[in-house]
């Protein structure tokens, strides 16, 4: 009777459950360790967003020390616009893109500012002419 399970020895569900609990515990510990490390790493460096959509190919850099967001042409590195305190950038710790919006977040997400980046870059280009 090859291929048949030996039914004379009971399957120990307790052992299988113990292994599953141990694996789940290891997964939780590893994920907690990675979350903390990535948060520390993200806060230690200046964030960069590569902004691509119809007609735009930009690199957006949050410069925390200067309290500014710098927007560069991704193709040639040419600076396009610097946003500062007048545009509500001061105090921003993180930034994310949400559709056409650049969302700036203060410490622990307490202060949130939404900026239409295309309008800001266009306004800067018009002012420079």
- Lowest-confidence segment of 31-40, 98-107, 108-117 by average pLDDT: 31-40
- Domain ranges for the chain: 10-45, 46-128
Average pLDDT over residues 1-20: 55
User: Does residue 37 carry a pLDDT above 50?
Assistant: no
Residue 39's CB is within 10 A of a number of other CB atoms, namely 10
- As assigned by CATH, the class of the 46-128 domain is mainly beta
User: What pLDDT is attached to residue 82?
Assistant: 94
User: Does residue 44 carry a pLDDT above 80?
Assistant: no
More confident residue, 25 or 82: 82
For residues 100-115, one letter each, b for 16 or more C-beta atoms within 10 angstroms of the residue's C-beta and e for the rest, the string is eebebbeeeeeeebeb
Backbone φ, ψ for residue 88 (5° rounding): 85, 25
User: What pLDDT is attached to residue 33?
Assistant: 43
């Amino acid at each position: 009777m090859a291929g048949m399970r030996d039914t004379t020895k009971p399957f120990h569900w307790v052992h299988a459950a113990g292994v599953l609990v141990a694996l789940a515990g290891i997964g939780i510990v590893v994920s907690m360790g990675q979350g903390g490390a990535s948060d520390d790493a993200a806060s230690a460096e200046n964030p960069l967003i590569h902004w691509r959509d119809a007609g735009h190919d930009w690199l957006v850099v949050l410069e925390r020390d200067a309290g500014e967001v710098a927007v560069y042409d991704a193709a040639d590195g040419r600076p396009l616009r610097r946003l500062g305190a007048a545009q509500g950038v001061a105090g921003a710790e993180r930034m994310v893109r949400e559709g056409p919006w650049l969302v700036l977040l203060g410490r622990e997400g307490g202060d949130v500012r939404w900026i239409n980046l295309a309008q800001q870059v266009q306004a800067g280009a018009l002012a420079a002419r």
